Amino acid sequence: MTNIILLDADGIVINKPMLFSEHLAKDYGVPYDSILPFFKSEFQACLVGKEDLKKVIMPYLAGWGWKKSVDDLLAYWFEHENSIDARVVDVIKKWRGAGVKVYLHSNQEKYRTGYMIGEMKMDAMVDGIFSSAYLGVKKPQREFWEAVLSKIQPATKEDVLVWDDDEENVASAKEFGFPAELYRGFDGFVATSRHYFPDLSSGQ
């Protein structure tokens, strides 16, 4: 019986209209292709807590035409991605009101994880947040799901339902043994949720 839900943060609870790299390219006239190398290299180590974002992003600022501080850049970045879907939050409230535990999971570095908790107050919406920066491993690695399961003991895999908007992450969760669903939009999310919780009129 499903009594624990693991929701991906970005793409489900947070629906950012544009990625940071797209915003920076648009607002500051920076070639998009000059931004991507950072996210494919040093940023990946930040996601598992092995590098400090403020330190490794510093050498890129001049090339991106950023003349303010690194803290200003992170504020600009995180504020543009502060877009919570109130409809999903309403569904979470109904689940939790019925006794279902809801956790967020995310491939996230430590500063944005802190922003999600401190500024976006996302920890108040759920029973916990599992960030790759603190688990030391990221999706779709099997070890990510192992780490999450160890944090929600004594739950079994059958107790859990994973939602993610990335097919590879959904596949890895299923391979690990978690029931998992691919998020394709809010209406489908509500319809599929009713199969698991027929007594709850989720969302609409």
Question: In terms of domains, do 122 and 30 share one?
Answer: no
Question: In terms of domains, do 142 and 99 share one?
Answer: yes
What separation in angstroms does the CA of 176 have from each of 4, 41, 67, 93, 164?
A: 16, 27, 45, 28, 14
What 122-126 contacts at long range (C-beta under 8 Å, 24+ apart), as own/partner pairs, is 122/9, 122/13, 122/84, 125/13, 125/89, 125/92, 125/93, 126/7, 126/92, 126/96, 126/102
For residue 158, being part of any structural domain is answered with yes
| pLDDT tens for each residue of 64-119 | 989 999 999 999 999 999 999 999 999 999 999 999 999 999 999 999 999 999 99
* pTM reported for the whole predicted model: 0.94
Quickly state the pLDDT bin for 201 (edges 50, 70, 90).
low
d(CA 134, CA 136): 5
Report the chain's mean pLDDT, rounded to a whole number.
94
Low-confidence winner among 23-27, 54-58, 140-144 (lowest mean pLDDT): 23-27
Q: How far is CA 142 from the centre of its chain?
A: 17
d(CA 160, CA 156): 7
For residue 40, being part of any structural domain is answered with yes
* Cβ 56 vs Cβ 97: under 8 Å: no
For residue 202, being part of any structural domain is answered with no
Question: In terms of domains, do 24 and 97 share one?
Answer: no
For residue 111, being part of any structural domain is answered with yes
What interhelical angle do 167-176 and 142-151 show, nearest 10? 60
Quickly state the pLDDT bin for 204 (edges 50, 70, 90).
very low
Question: In terms of domains, do 147 and 97 share one?
Answer: yes
Question: In terms of domains, do 66 and 100 share one?
Answer: no
Q: Which residue has the higher pLDDT, 198 or 152?
A: 152
Which residues form the domain of 183? 4-15+84-196
For residue 36, being part of any structural domain is answered with yes
Residue 203, pLDDT > 90, answer: no
Tally of domains within the chain: 2
d(CA 202, CA 92): 9
d(CA 125, CA 117): 10
| Element housing 140 (H / E) | none
Q: Which amino acid is at 142?
A: R
For residue 186, being part of any structural domain is answered with yes
DSSP category for residue 14: B
| pLDDT tens for each residue of 151-193 | 998 889 999 999 999 999 999 999 999 999 999 999 999 999 9
Q: Within a 10 A sphere around the Cβ of 153, how many other Cβ atoms?
A: 7
Residue 202, pLDDT > 50, answer: no
